[in-house]
Structure 1
Amino acid sequence: MFKRALLTGLLATFFFACNQKPKADICYTITPVKVDSVTQLKIRMSIPADTSGVTTLSFPNEAWGQEKLFNTLGEMRLLNVEGVVEKDMDSSRIVLMHPKDTEQLEFEYFLKQDFDGDLSTGRIYRPIISDAYFHAFSHNMFMVPEQAESNQDIVLDWSAFPEDYTIHNSFGSQKKLQELKDMDMALFGNAIFVGGDFRVLSGEIQGNQISLATRGEWIPFQEEKVFQVLERTLTCQRNFWNDHSQEYFTVTMQPFPQETGSSFQGTGLTNSFATSISNNDFTDIEQLVYLFNHELMHNWIGHTIKNSNEEEQYWFSEGFTEYYTFKNIAANKINGLTGAFYIREMNRTIRDLYASPVVEAPNTDINYDNFWGNRDYSKLPYWRGAVFAFYLDQKIRETSKGKQSLDNVMHQIYKDVKAKDQKLTHAYFIKVMKEFLGDDFEAFFQQHIEEGAKVDLYGLFDELGLEYDPMNDIYELGFEFTEDRKGIQSVVEGSAAWNAGLREGDEVFSRSIWQGSIDHEVELGVKRDGKTFKFAFYPIKKAMVPQLKETESNIEKLGF
């Protein structure tokens, strides 16, 4: 059902002419304005009119976990013809009604920030527009004609912004007039746009531009150090894949306040990666080393090498990405991290896998609903895939006497993708792996990926002569919350939670839990029979879980 926003467009006293700019299918002119003392962005569009007299523009009301994005829209109007502008929130459209003989439409809308207060993780994916800066994604900034063809010539005119105002986005930096020739509209719709008091650090990798755009005063690290990590990460990854084809790439990094704990999130976009990070002493640069290496590796694993069936191959696109994150960092000593880091991360991953309540769930259980709705299943392909990749890497190195590794497998897959547009299927992966580990691999794959059985790490470590501890601590929270998380539903008898004194029926009034961490105490404040209690315990239990020792011998045998 249509929700009417404006009944009659106004005939402007001037004519906004696209022909004053380079010729394009879509022209956007973006201008900073004040509306009732609030900074907004005025965006004017020049687009071909549909001959039916109805031109529809796409603008999602719900996207990326955000709802009611239409609340960010201010006044809208047609400038060069009389007509009607309507909002259709149900279908995420802005409908322009105009005379049928209209050839070109000049349309204007205002974009605003629709929340007050500090930035938070729940608001990152909404348009952020203030006196100091703006931060928005394509889908919640630029309306696009639904009738447009898949490729369009687009002009972005930022000339109304002050000279010293940074303009930076997925398509370039510090350009007040951008011409995007033959632009794939899907790529245009998956971009980041920032401006204002952002600082841009730039460099080159084999003639290709890279940059980091950030703002604010960072507490946990220096942005120059972050840029060094970014530059080193991209250089090593591109060298690994022998792929230096991307002419431009940027990372945007904005801070947000958070009192305790660290939080960061990132989104891979067209020619870019947008990240937001808690700006406090709990955050450290090693977290960014991981974030950059994992997410940017997805440029190849998951994006270039595509899954045939998304969730079915998450063990590869997420698990192998996780493994190559650890391996790439250690092999290239990014931020000074070495083989000891690789061992620590593999040990942690093994512990997490063994502690998972779904550790041996079949691969078919990693479906859309489970993966996106259940934390245990969402983490399973990361851990299972990384341990599986580690196992294969060591077995290939052993059987080839060090002449080959899992790297050769990845390069073969990448070669087939480029030559044949090959997608990652189970049958294809088995076929490639048989060339390295023989015909028995099919049964091995069936057992450990399809059926979910744990690989024999004890046997592998013994076979390779690696030093390890056979029994270790793994994570066990030891209790379950009630559905509203305000009480204790059950406690595992004999667990650390039980031994600390926690009991079923306790009412919880405070909590501090580092999910999955055995290095941080769980702290709970509870009420029981009118009295208050404070409990603190390490959420661990002993289990048969092998952990590699961080010895020089192990580091050398693992290839570092």
Structure 2
Amino acid sequence: MIRSLFFLLFLIPLYAFSQHQINYKVFYDKNLEQNGLKIQVDYTQKKSSDTIAFYYANDNWDEKELFKSLILQEKDNPGIRFDIKPEDNKIRVHHKESRKISFIYYIKQDFKDLNYRIFNRPKVKDQFFHVMGKNLFMVPTSFTKMPDDQEFEFSIEWIGFPQDFKIHNTFASQIKKQNIKTVLWEGFYNSLFVGGDYRIYDFKIHEKPVYFAIRDEWNNGFSDDFLCTNLKKAVQSQRDFWKDYDKEYFTVIMSPTVSQKDSLFKGYSSTGSAIKNAFMIQGTNNPFNSKSSYLYLLHHELMHEWIGNTIQNKHEELNYWFSEGFTDYYTYKNRLRIKDISFDEWLKLFNEEVIRSHWKNPQRKIPNYTIKDDFWKSRNTEKVPYRRGAVFAFWLDNQIMIKSGYKKSLDDFMQELLNRCKEKKLKLTDELFLDLAQKYLDKDISYFFQKHILSGEDIDLINEKWINGFQFKITDEIPQLQVDKNASLKYPL
């Protein structure tokens, strides 16, 4: 009996290892640009076989044909044959029958020069690398068929990298042997791995570390101090707002798409993306760097840590009116709250960047269901849920303040929504949102929601009720928010 029990206890951890653990070794090469990042993957299957399929994303975040970045060589893998199928995001690995499989592949930059239009293709140069997790580490296709909440163990060892070659990612900073336990799609594959000549700064909020990684020398006042100071201010204010200090690790990674002291591209192009434990900023680095655009991007993307990541959409693009629109609204409101902008600046930004931009968009009245199909195809369509949702958020904020006699605001609604989603493991749906709205307004707003959010009809801003001191007037055929400075204005509440 004791011998049988011992044998059973031995098998359980072995089974767990073979099912849900995978190991990687990443090797340094002084000629990274020429040779690429060399990666050895080791995996133990549940059963012995002579073939196993691995997943590698050929399309990822609007980048196509990413198999061009993947190199598999027979000279590195004697006795192994690869059947590469980019159209299926798959590599079939034929090997000597065994439970264990080990092979080597390379990730290499597949374009010559950095470009302000290229954000998410693997970048591998001698002095740095910048690769999304989904395109750095391949996994057995069996991992992709597990439930979304299934956790895996990913072991990564960074071998031979010089001391001054920083290793930093959305799971740890400067750790050469990493053990990462997370889900696949929203965790390991929703990540960024960088290394090289990055400068890494850190600070703490409620004893929890926040890291800032940046490379290159930035123009037009984008000093490390300016960037770090405003990052800390934004993170502190947002965690205070949500009363949420649970994040054990968080990082912001800022990288140039292309750097030029003089530029034929007469403008500033940047993008930000919320990812696991982090958000990344990429943008042109030239004399046209815009501080105001950076601050907007900073506050917008950090807010996604809660609106979009913690409060997750059930139906993705169909709920972008919330995840993008309410994030946009709080981007402006939070900046006003912490005096990052004055009230006059807030009023101008809200009128110009939200209301006027929305009214001048020829696609503004499209129904919500078309956003799902066209969001990634049209810039005008992409902007509809941002602005439509922000105007709706402003309307709801005013209605809650009026109904509660200025005792509550949309802030209370959002904090309760966050707690509901966290405690009950819920995702954002129209029904969940409307149920909570009815609690705060003591009435059903389903018809209003159907008319203005789902069908796309403009909210009649002129004739709606607003808090004391707010009203709308038509200017150049576009409604604009006006403020009575003699009124006792209670905004932001």
State the TM bucket, normalised to the shorter chain: 0.7 to 0.9
Contact persistence 1:77–1:107 (CA under 8 A)? no
In the alignment of these two chains, the number of paired residues is 462
Distance 1:452 1:350 in 2: 14
Work out whether 1:247 is the aligned partner of 2:248: yes
Contact persistence 1:307–1:317 (CA under 8 A)? yes
Of 98, 103, 109, 2:99 maps to 103
Alignment partner of 1:281: what SS?
coil
Per-residue deviation, 1:77 = 4.3
- Counterparts in 2 of 1:155 and 1:363: CA distance versus 1, 3 Å: closer
Q: Which residue of 1 aligns with 2:326?
A: 320
Contact persistence 1:394–1:558 (CA under 8 A)? no
Q: Deviations over 1:289-315 (max 9, x none)?
A: 111211121121122222333333222
Q: Which residue of 2 aligns with 1:29?
A: 25
Work out whether 1:543 is the aligned partner of 2:469: no
- Counterparts in 2 of 1:62 and 1:81: CA distance versus 1, 3 Å: same
Alignment partner of 1:52: what SS?
strand
Give the TM-score taking structure 2 as reference length: 0.86
Q: Which residue of 1 aligns with 2:355?
A: 350
Distance 1:554 1:461 in 2: 15
Q: Which residue of 1 aligns with 2:8?
A: none
- Counterparts in 2 of 1:134 and 1:440: CA distance versus 1, 3 Å: closer
Which shows bigger deviation, 126-135 or 148-157?
148-157
Q: Which residue of 1 aligns with 2:13?
A: none
Alignment partner of 1:401: what SS?
coil
Contact persistence 2:402–2:467 (CA under 8 A)? no
Work out whether 1:293 is the aligned partner of 2:292: no
Per-residue deviation, 1:158 = 1.3
- Counterparts in 2 of 1:171 and 1:419: CA distance versus 1, 3 Å: closer
Instruction: Output aligned runs, 1:367-516, within 5 Å.
Output: 367-439=371-443, 441-460=445-464, 464-466=468-470, 470-472=473-475
- Counterparts in 2 of 1:239 and 1:54: CA distance versus 1, 3 Å: same
Tell me the amino acid that sits aligned with residue 65 of structure 1: D
Q: Which residue of 2 aligns with 1:270?
A: 276
Work out whether 1:85 is the aligned partner of 2:82: yes
Tell me the amino acid that sits aligned with residue 428 of structure 1: L
Per-residue deviation, 1:111 = 2.0
Distance 2:366 2:89 in 1: 39
The percentage of counterpart residues that share the same residue type is: 34
Contact persistence 1:340–1:555 (CA under 8 A)? no
Tell me the amino acid that sits aligned with residue 225 of structure 2: E
- Counterparts in 2 of 1:212 and 1:359: CA distance versus 1, 3 Å: same
Q: Which residue of 1 aligns with 2:71?
A: 74
Tell me the amino acid that sits aligned with residue 140 of structure 1: N
- Counterparts in 2 of 1:105 and 1:431: CA distance versus 1, 3 Å: closer
- Counterparts in 2 of 1:37 and 1:276: CA distance versus 1, 3 Å: closer
Work out whether 1:131 is the aligned partner of 2:129: no
- Counterparts in 2 of 1:281 and 1:467: CA distance versus 1, 3 Å: farther
Tell me the amino acid that sits aligned with residue 357 of structure 2: D
Structure 1 alignment gaps of length 5 or more: 1-21, 473-541
Q: Which residue of 2 aligns with 1:224?
A: 225
Which shows bigger deviation, 120-129 or 136-145?
120-129
Distance 2:406 2:374 in 1: 39
Give the TM-score taking structure 1 as reference length: 0.77
Q: Deviations over 1:240-268 (max 9, x none)?
A: 11211110111111112353111001222
Q: Which residue of 2 aligns with 1:156?
A: 156
- Counterparts in 2 of 1:412 and 1:467: CA distance versus 1, 3 Å: closer
Alignment partner of 1:545: what SS?
strand
Q: Root-mean-square deviation (CA), in Å?
A: 2.6
Alignment partner of 2:449: what SS?
helix
Structure 2 alignment gaps of length 5 or more: 1-16
Distance 1:446 1:378 in 2: 20
Per-residue deviation, 1:440 = 5.3
Structure that is richer in helix per residue: 2
Q: Deviations over 1:352-385 (max 9, x none)?
A: 2222223334434x43223222333221111111
Tell me the amino acid that sits aligned with residue 363 of structure 2: V
Q: Deviations over 1:412-432 (max 9, x none)?
A: 212221232333333332222
